[in-house]
Amino acid sequence: MAAKAAGADVIIAQGLEAGGHRGSFNTEDMSRSLVGLFALLPAVVDAVKVPVVATGGVADARGVAAALLLGASAVQIGTGLLRTPEAKIASPWADAIGTSLPEDTVPTRAFSGRLGRSIRTAYTEAADKGPIPAPYPIQRNITKAMRTSATDIDRMQAWAGQSAGLTRAEPAAELITDLWSTAKELLNS
C-alpha cells in the first residue's frame, strides 16, 4: 500500500521463498513479515490497480502459470537462472542449488547482517548457534575474506530460493523459452 500511495507504476510482490536479500521498506521488520508468494500475490493484486510482478520461489513453468493465475502481470525468476552458464557462479554453489530441497534453504543474517535466504551450509548452521551477527554492513565486511576465498559450499555465500531444486543447468534463452511455452500450455489446458 505504501508503494501504491507513492505512485508506483508497478509493484513487485516478493514471497519469503525468495533467495538472497528480499526487498523491503523496513529491514528491521523483515523477519516478522514473512509471507509466502502464493498467499501474498492475490492480496496485493486485489489491493492495487497497477501491474504486479510475482517473485520468490518460482523456478519452473508450474510456478509461472500459478502466479499468472493468481493475477500477476509478470513473473521474475532469480534462483531459477543461477545454474545457467550465463550466471557464471561457482560450481559448488550451482551443484548445491541443483540438489537442494525446499528445507535445505534457510533465512540467515550470517553473511551480511541483513536477512537473506541461503543454502544451509556448515557456516549458516554454526552462525545460527551464535553469536548474533553484527548489523549490515559490518557483518558483510566481517565475512568478506571468507566469502571471497571460499572454494567449497560450506563457506560460500550461497543465496538460493526454496525452489532451488527445480532449476535447470541450460542456457538462459532456452530456459526462458521453455518456461514460457510450458506455462502457456498449462494455462490453456
DSSP H or E stretch at residue 183? helix 172-188
Residue 27: partners with Cβ closer than 8 Å, 6 or more residues away = 114, 115, 136
Q: How many CA atoms lie within 13 A of 96 on its CB side?
A: 25
Whether the predicted pLDDT of 24 surpasses 90: no
> Model confidence over 141-171: pLDDT tens digits?
999 999 999 999 999 999 999 999 999 999 9
Q: For 78-126, how does the pLDDT look when each residue is reduced to its tens digit (9 = 90+)?
A: 999 999 999 999 999 999 999 999 999 999 999 999 999 999 999 999 9
Contacts of 49 (CB under 8 A, 6+ apart): none
pLDDT at 110: 96
Domain residue ranges in the chain: 2-188
Phi, psi (deg, nearest 5) at residue 113: 95, -15
Class of domain 2-188: alpha beta
Q: What is the pLDDT of residues 56-81, one digit of tens each?
A: 999 999 999 999 999 999 999 999 99
